[in-house]
Amino acid sequence: MWIEIICGLVIYKLVRRFFYDDEFSDVETSDSTALFSVAHRLEKLYGGKAYVGLRIPDADTASRQDIDVVLVTKGEIVVIAVKNLSGIVTVTSDGSWVCEGGKHHTTESFPDPLAEVKKQASVLESYLEQRGVTLLEGNLSCKVVIPNPSFRTIHAFPSEVITYEDWQQLKPASRSKISGWVKGAFSTGKEMQESSHQKLNFILGTAPTWDRVELKSSKIVLGEFLEFKGKQEDTLALRNIKRSKVDHVSIQKTSMFGLAPSRLQVLYSYRDYRSEGSSGAESKEVTVRSSTEVLFQPRDSTKMKKFKLSSLVSISLSA
Ligand SMILES: *[C@@H]1O[C@H](CO)[C@@H](O)[C@H](O)[C@H]1NC(C)=O
Ligand SMILES: *[C@@H]1O[C@H](CO)[C@@H](O)[C@H](O)[C@H]1NC(C)=O
């Protein structure tokens, strides 16, 4: 009898471990957070708008092309791969990178990041063309940003690869740096025509992306929202929250008199298909138990993750 119960428990735990990853693991999530911090800094330095975690449909392969960051400034688009690598990187004869050491003392290998980002840029170019914006040569460039101070290498990389020192030194005031970074936009004084600039922002603003959850710990995880888990009453209350209808969910405490909240206020806004950035989107509010959870599939992991609703600030769903 006891043996059976113990065996049952062990099997239950193993199965749970296999399918879900309750614990918050830094390894998988620091990457997504780095994308946002890089995007944020670029926006501050160069103005314009950065789009993070895009999944651009690739007609040739009938799949999605992941793109970390796309920066749109007046006159240029920069496609950026963020590789927050710590450790020693060697480049092999086929161009791939092997990273050794780092925080977790592992060896990881990546296909040539610059070649990858160029491939992403060409997928993006065809996608924009399909949606009615044709770029000229020189409107688009590629960068690989490595914002990690513990990145070491003996190789000399092409100028498109921005390592920690260069990343630190990027300054809005230094014109020479900018013209190297955003080619043509400032040096020639030419700007994209206002209408094509707006159109570009509209296309990228409505392009498919990863879903994202923002945690109270100010980490952001990209992946795919699957469903809410919890008491039936609560999941029923949340049943309208699906990507076909809703694009943003924010979670608030309903703490009364400083007591630990047992219920959470969930505000969600309906996706607005009518026009670009119109602010009339309808929003709704429901209250659920704080034990309610969110089942999420992070983009870089094979394991699903469960987040307590109370540990989240917001959920954004891609169309
Ligand atoms: C890169 O990863 C390190 C941990 O290895 C982290 O401390 C740092 O904040 C990350 N960089 C960015 C820009 O997010
Ligand atoms: C591309 O660059 C040219 C000149 O540098 C500019 O006239 C044009 O508006 C830019 N943008 C697009 C979307 O073609």
Domain residue extents for the chain: 30-205, 211-316
How much is the average pLDDT of 314-319? 93
The CATH fold assigned to 30-205 is: Trna Endonuclease; Chain: A, domain 1 (3.40.1350)
pLDDT value of residue 127: 95
Choose which residue among 25, 26, 29, 30 to substitute to test ligand 1 binding: the one with the highest number of ligand atoms within 8 A of its C-beta.
30
pLDDT value of residue 319: 84
Sheet hosting strand 220-229, strand order edge to edge: 20-21, 304-308, 293-298, 220-229, 211-215, 312-316, 246-253, 263-270, 283-289
Residue from 15, 36, 17 nearest 219 by CA: 36
DSSP-assigned letters across all residues of 65-124:
EEEEEEEEETTEEEEEEE----EEEEE-TTS-EEEEETTTTEEEEE--HHHHHHHHHHHH
Residue with tokens 């992403």: 120
Q: Are 292 and 265 in contact (CB under 8 A)?
A: no
pLDDT bucket at 134, cuts 50 / 70 / 90: confident
pLDDT bucket at 66, cuts 50 / 70 / 90: very high
* Cα dihedral sign, 84-90-91-97: negative
∠ CA 119-122-127, rounded to 5°: 130
Ligand 2 centre from 126 Cα, in Å?
16
pLDDT bucket at 143, cuts 50 / 70 / 90: very high
Q: Are 317 and 269 in contact (CB under 8 A)?
A: no
How much is the average pLDDT of 196-201? 86
Alpha-carbon distance of 51 to 69, in angstroms, equals 5
pLDDT value of residue 273: 65
pLDDT bucket at 184, cuts 50 / 70 / 90: very low
pLDDT exceeds 70 at position 242: yes
pLDDT value of residue 258: 58
pLDDT value of residue 10: 58
SS3 state of residue 137: coil
pLDDT exceeds 70 at position 124: yes
Alpha-carbon distance of 304 to 319, in angstroms, equals 21
pLDDT bucket at 13, cuts 50 / 70 / 90: low
Ligand 1 centre from 239 Cα, in Å?
36
Torsion of CA 146, 122, 109, 212, to 10 degrees: 70
Please name the residue whose Cα sits nearest to atom 9 of ligand 2: 192
pLDDT value of residue 145: 95
Which DSSP state fits 261? P
∠ CA 134-202-34, rounded to 5°: 100
Tokens at 263, concatenated: 């219920």
pLDDT bucket at 281, cuts 50 / 70 / 90: low
Ligand number nearest to the C-alpha of 84: 1
> Bigger pLDDT: 294 or 172?
294
Alpha-carbon distance of 269 to 53, in angstroms, equals 21
pLDDT bucket at 215, cuts 50 / 70 / 90: very high
How much is the average pLDDT of 164-179? 67
Determine what percent of the chain is predicted with pLDDT higher than 70: 77
pLDDT exceeds 50 at position 182: no
Alpha-carbon distance of 89 to 151, in angstroms, equals 7
Cβ–ligand 1 distance for 33 under 6 Å, the answer yes
Q: Are 127 and 135 in contact (CB under 8 A)?
A: no
pLDDT exceeds 70 at position 78: yes
Ligand 2 centre from 140 Cα, in Å?
10
Amino acid at 101: G
pLDDT value of residue 154: 87
Ligand 2 centre from 132 Cα, in Å?
14
**Ligand 1 atom, smallest distance to 84 CA:** 1
Phi first, then psi: what are they for 247, rounded to 5°? -115, -20
Cβ–ligand 1 distance for 164 under 6 Å, the answer no
Pairing of strands 161-162, 151-153: unpaired
> Bigger pLDDT: 18 or 154?
154
pLDDT exceeds 90 at position 77: yes
Please name the residue whose Cα sits nearest to atom 14 of ligand 1: 34
pLDDT exceeds 70 at position 267: yes
Ligand 2 centre from 169 Cα, in Å?
28
pLDDT value of residue 96: 92
How much is the average pLDDT of 17-28? 48
Ligand 2 centre from 117 Cα, in Å?
21
Report the chain's mean pLDDT, rounded to a whole number.
83
Q: Are 293 and 307 in contact (CB under 8 A)?
A: yes
Tokens at 117, concatenated: 């980002």
Ligand 1 centre from 31 Cα, in Å?
8
Please name the residue whose Cα sits nearest to atom 2 of ligand 1: 84
Q: Are 243 and 319 in contact (CB under 8 A)?
A: yes
Q: Which residues line ligand 2 (CB under 6 A)?
A: 75, 133, 135-136, 138-139, 184, 190, 192-193, 196
